[in-house]
Amino acid sequence: MQWFQDPNHSNVDNLNNVRCEASKHLRNKKKEYLKNKIDELETNSKIKKYQTCTRASMTFRRVTTL
């Protein structure tokens, strides 16, 4: 029963809970950031592929019409 009344034990529990919640929050933020970054890179990749394809076809048209 002595450890129930020990304020140091309570502080340790509170610190552990806060640390756990902070870690969980930061993990979720990192996951969200990485997911958004991956989506952005995929979108940019698709745009670049389309632009490259368009440039290639325009170059091919110019070469074939000359």
Domain range annotation of the chain:
21-66
Query: Tell me, what's the pLDDT at 13?
Result: 81
Q: What global pTM score does this model have? A: 0.55
Contact 22, 16 (CB under 8 A): no
Q: What is the pLDDT of residues 35-52, one digit of tens each?
A: 898 888 888 787 777 777
For the chain, the residue count is 66
What pLDDT score does 1 carry?
Answer: 43
Tell me what pLDDT residue 9 has: 67
What local confidence, expressed as pLDDT, does residue 64 receive?
Answer: 64
33 pLDDT tier (thresholds 50, 70, 90): very high
